[in-house]
Amino acid sequence: MWPKKDVEVSVIKYKGIFDYAGLYTMMRGWFKDREYDFWERRYKHKVKEGGTEIEINWEAWRDINELMRNWIYVYFHIWDYQEVEVIKDGQKKKMAKARMLIRFSWTIEIDYEDRWQDSKLKRAMLKFMINFPLRKELSEPYGDKLWYECNRLQQEAKKFLGMAHSDVYDDMW
């Protein structure tokens, strides 16, 4: 993995009424539109006295080339979740009332098919390539592009929730 630890792009903290199913569908569709493979690693649902607690971990990946793979991680933690009926556009609609935290992070996996792991020489060559010739490529074009892509997902989620958001980075990649 490069860098050694996941890079956290941002965290959204939200409290109020929102369309939970709509947010879930929009974010899931965002990955599909960009041809990411997707895995919902965990969906934890605990019913409590004050409201339901939900934890969700998503992992999405897309191959860059034969050596590198992009990973985006999204973590949801929702507290005090309750369904409420609201009138929106003159119609009754079921929405969610809750506190929510959404964390976005990314990493780049190198040698995701373990082609460079079957001998000590290949492992040493890969380590050399990562530390010297590929170092600048990993941090600038690939790392930067993935950071902006992850930030774009975060901005879409903020826009969906009606929060202040910035389209500052839309023209970067």
| pLDDT value for 5 | 66
Q: Does position 89 have pLDDT exceeding 90, yes or no?
A: no
- For 57-86, what is the mean pLDDT? 94
CB atoms within 10 A of CB 147: 17
**Domain limits, the chain:** 2-161
- For 59-69, what is the mean pLDDT? 92
Could you tell me the pLDDT band of residue 169, with boundaries at 50, 70 and 90? Answer: low
Q: Does position 2 have pLDDT exceeding 70, yes or no?
A: no
Q: What is the pTM of this model?
A: 0.86
d(CA 74, CA 126): 29
What's the pLDDT tens digit per position in 114-145?
A: 888 888 988 888 788 777 777 777 667 888 88
CB atoms within 10 A of CB 155: 19
Tell me the C-alpha to C-alpha distance, in Å, between residue 149 and each of 35, 117, 130, 166.
Answer: 13, 30, 22, 14
